[in-house]
Amino acid sequence: MSNPAKIHFIRPTGHSSRRNFGGSIARKRGESNFLRAFERAYFAKSGAGIAANEFALAQHGVADLVWIAWLNKKSEEDFTVLTLEKILRRRSLIAFEAKLKDWQQALRQAFRYRYFADKSIVVMPEENANPAISNLSVFEEMNVGLWTFNKDKKYISRPYTPVNVRALNQDAREKAIKRISSQIDLRKLRIQA
């Protein structure tokens, strides 16, 4: 299977947040498997971009996934750290929080990402999302998106996606952009562009 989208992944350094819990909880992979399946479906339709898993920004939590779409235009611009940061500042930064069941916890976490992300989206399995959908007005009030994902059909539904929103704290957004751009392998990105 060929993937026409060119995704530049930034892998987390350090330990996985799953290891913060002992015993069987640390070994549970349900949420992680759900997120990976969602990523594959989302990236297949999103085109090129930059993705970071378990993106941590001090005082704003650890987003399961951060995404910045990359335009597929030919660019004569040389890629350097400075030009890359400049380009990334113009793109929309989206943070995702995947939860299998607890929509309230997901909403709390996703709201924290609103400080550095232009959009923050909670993603839940379609079969578990009815309680969250019943409370869609809370998501709307907080400007946090709610999407559902059917893993078997590889289908993403978007009950609510905020529009015309920006990060709540531009300094935090700037820190996120700097962190992302500092971890990008410019040689790989140049080839992909």
Q: Averaged in consecutive runs of 10 residues, what is the pLDDT profile of the chain (193 residues)?
A: 47 46 54 91 81 86 85 48 58 91 96 95 97 97 97 95 93 88 59 46
pLDDT at 142: 97
Q: What pLDDT score was predicted for residue 85?
A: 56
53 SS3 class: strand
Q: How many CB atoms lie within 10 A of CB 61?
A: 19
Q: Are 167 and 118 in contact (CB under 8 A)?
A: yes
Q: What is the pLDDT of residue 77?
A: 47
Judge contact between 66 and 60, C-beta under 8 A: no
pLDDT score, position 6: 53
pTM of the model: 0.78
Q: Indicate the class that CATH gives domain 7-192.
A: alpha beta
Rounded to 10 deg, the angle between the 170-182 and 81-89 helix axes is 140
